[in-house]
Chain A
Amino acid sequence: MEIANIIESKPKSNIYGLVGNINLTSNNKNYNIITDTKFNSTVKEYLNSPKDTSSLKMALLKDEILTKKSSELSIGDLKKVSLAKALIENKEYIVLDYFDKELTDKEKSYFKRLWKKLTVDYKKTIIIFTNDITSLWDIAKEIILIDKNKVSYTIKEEAYTKVLDLFDKAEITKFIELIQAKGIDMKYYYESNELLKAIYRLKENG
């Protein structure tokens, strides 16, 4: 599905979440899709830029990877090289195709900060394509749901908790719903420390 058709009408310099059972494509020269692209050269030749080391650093890769070929890299590192290439090419839109699937939790937090920085300081528009709602709800301005190759819903950030049934639920959401099923008045939280405090208050008050 052509990503530009989904995003073009949206305000720029924002982060959007995209959820749906589709394959993303782009023929638009303003878009970079970040994926585990393989290449027939070393990373240095593939990046082909004096900015290679700084862009690799932003993508959490070390210089030593420059001499490696794509066949020597993990899928996670291939995705990061693809991101480094996008940062060098400096296109307006960066589309992350399941980028979160090969990251540690610490790296996920770093990249969330990077996406915010890229939208604020560099006026990029970031599109995060994933099936993990938790990677979106503290960062995306809107979540766009695709069904049968069409936009079926666009959900603004203030309404995320109202449409949880549409998603593969986060662990914290499933846990809260088990508490609610006991007839206990518990609201939805995104952060486990907030949930922890709420449980403590409930137990303290009997």
Chain B
Amino acid sequence: MKVMFQVNDKDIQDIDTTILYTPSFNYNEDAVYFINNNCLVITKDSSPQSYDISDDLYKLFKEEDLKSKSDLSKIDEIKLQILSSLNSDKEVFVFFNVLTYLDKPFKEKIISYLKTNNKRIINYTTQIEETLLLDYLIVIHNNSVIMEGKKELVLQEEKIINKLGFNLPFIVELSNNLKLYGLVNKTYYNNQELVDDLWK
């Protein structure tokens, strides 16, 4: 891994990264930094004048209804922003706590689409479940990096995560507890894998 960006004392590596932050963190300066560094930035409040989205993309994401919808909700606008950015030639996509507003299938399809097209993803979030979407995890509290590393390593630090006010992701917590009962012998990050191992 090599450092791609240095934003407000955070080194962002060349790997898909979740930035888990406690809610008093104001990400405006980070957003400006990424815009100035030629990244595609999506926030809850940015709303372009128009959206350039191909029929194929609407179809792929099963969002054909959005094509002709006039009374757009905030969630519709976020979806349109994301869909209209997918064919951008920018290499790095930065989401500022917007994926949390979307249903999980749409969210997972976006991540998968970007990965398939070799885009780098940086996702700022306050939702612990989203830490499972990407490989690397940086945890921020009071503007400082508290922990960082591969998500599997960082999510082992349950005491620190709890102290910051977060629970572990559901599947991580459940499998850790099942380990205590002697029913499994490792931590899981995927529901299906855990169910398959419990009932072979």
Query: Interface on A for B, CB 8 Å cutoff?
Result: 21-23, 71-77, 98, 101-107, 131, 149, 168-169, 171-172, 174-175, 178-179, 182, 184, 192-193, 195-196, 199-200, 203
Tell whether, in the assembled complex, residue A171 and residue B23 are in contact, meaning their CB atoms are under 8 Å apart. Answer: no
Q: A74-B23, A192-B173, A200-B181 are in contact. Are A179 and B71 (CB under 8 A)?
A: no
Tell whether, in the assembled complex, residue B198 and residue A199 are in contact, meaning their CB atoms are under 8 Å apart. Answer: yes
| Nearest residue, chain B, Cβ from A167 | B103
Tell whether, in the assembled complex, residue A101 and residue B97 are in contact, meaning their CB atoms are under 8 Å apart. Answer: yes
Interface size class of B (residues with CB under 8 A): 35 or more
A-B contact list, 29 entries, CB within 8 Å: A21-B75, A72-B26, A75-B23, A76-B23, A77-B24, A77-B26, A101-B100, A104-B23, A104-B164, A104-B165, A104-B166, A105-B166, A106-B166, A131-B75, A131-B101, A131-B103, A171-B170, A171-B191, A175-B170, A175-B194, A178-B191, A178-B195, A179-B195, A179-B199, A184-B199, A192-B174, A193-B177, A196-B177, A199-B183
| Nearest residue, chain B, Cβ from A78 | B26
Q: A104-B126, A104-B166 are in contact. Are A21 and B73 (CB under 8 A)?
A: yes
Other-chain contact of B195, A98, A149, A172, A182 (Cβ < 8 Å): A182
| Nearest residue, chain B, Cβ from A107 | B165
User: A193 CA to B99 CA in the complex, in Å?
Assistant: 28
A-B contact number at CB 8 A = 94
| Nearest residue, chain A, Cβ from B105 | A168
| Nearest residue, chain A, Cβ from B98 | A101
Contact with A along B115-153 (1 / 0, CB 8 A): 000000000001111000000000000000000000000
Closest approach, in angstroms, between the C-beta of A43 and any C-beta of chain B?
13
> Which residues on B sit within 8 Å (CB–CB) of A184?
199
> Which residues on B sit within 8 Å (CB–CB) of A104?
22-23, 126, 164-166
Tell whether, in the assembled complex, residue A107 and residue B23 are in contact, meaning their CB atoms are under 8 Å apart. Answer: yes
User: A103 CA to B21 CA in the complex, in Å?
Assistant: 10
User: A182 CA to B75 CA in the complex, in Å?
Assistant: 35
> Which residues on B sit within 8 Å (CB–CB) of A106?
165-166
